[in-house]
Amino acid sequence: MVSIDVYNASVDFPIFDAKSRSLKKAVLGLGKAGGRIGVEARVPVIEALRDISVSLRHGDRVGLIGHNGAGKSTLLRLLSGIYEPTRGSSRIVGKVAPVFDLGVGMDPEISGYENVIIRGLFLGMTRRQMEARVDEIAEFTELGGYMSMPLRTYSTGMRVRLALGVVTSIDPEILLLDEGIGAVDAEFMAKARDRLHALVKRSGILVFASHSDEFLLDLCDTGIWMDHGQIREHGKLREVLTHYKGRDPFDGKDRP
């Protein structure tokens, strides 16, 4: 059973400047102080997330909203298991497929085809399984001959297509999307939306961070409003959006 349970989790980033990151300061510092003051204690810490408690189950489609730096991307990484909480606990059960910063984790020098295989292997697929899916991915992404070109020749939108093509083809149970996927054109987005809908219905959880009300309403039904590293509100997406914006974003439109 696919599930995400996060309880009272915090994510604190130590910020090492060039000096405090070096051994010199740690060694000298300990000598001077004469006591056992941990090096960590004097390293400034950014509390990226505080006291996060979330429980997600099969079929949940959550939109993350909030200002820049509110902790949306960090929360996605917490939910993917990349960051384990520095305090509190988290448990992620299911096959996770993230699409974060595009271009990172993809090798610009090798072909789109090769990148598809490697990304699939990273996400727990076998080479054979990925080879069986490559044609389908090529067709869905409409990349055609570009699949055999090095990735550096791709535009941002094309990279998004490729990344979306991979994660939607491997039947993930937990799909985590960062706002970068907004780089694709509307036509492709519509196509991807159907696939994402089917995917979530079939197998799992979707968490999507975005600044676009349009995309959010397309993909999600509940919302989490992140503010200064904390969950300010979570509930029905439209209500959360209304509180966040101070007005109903769909007031006067014929949307549900």
Chain residues binding other proteins by CB under 8 A are 5-8, 13-14, 16, 18, 21-24, 26, 53-57, 60, 62, 77, 80-86, 89-91, 96, 98, 100-101, 104-105, 107, 109-110, 114, 117-119, 121-124, 126-127, 222, 234-235
Closest CB to other proteins among residues 114, 191: 114
Q: How far is the CB of 190 from other proteins (least distance, A)?
A: 26
| Residue 50 backbone class (left: φ over 0; alpha: ψ -120 to 50; beta: rest) | beta
Euclidean distance between CA atoms 79 and 205, whole angstroms = 11
Q: How far is the CB of 131 from other proteins (least distance, A)?
A: 12
Q: How far is the CB of 125 from other proteins (least distance, A)?
A: 9
- Dihedral pair phi/psi, residue 10, rounded to 5°: -125, 150
Closest CB to other proteins among residues 7, 250: 7
Closest CB to other proteins among residues 36, 253: 36
Which has the closest alpha carbon to 165: 97, 211, 74? Answer: 97
Q: Specify burial of residue 243 (Cβ count, 10 A radius: 0-12, 13-18, 19+).
A: middle
Q: How far is the CB of 70 from other proteins (least distance, A)?
A: 19
Residue with tokens 């509307």: 186
Closest CB to other proteins among residues 191, 233: 233
Residue with tokens 């696939």: 195
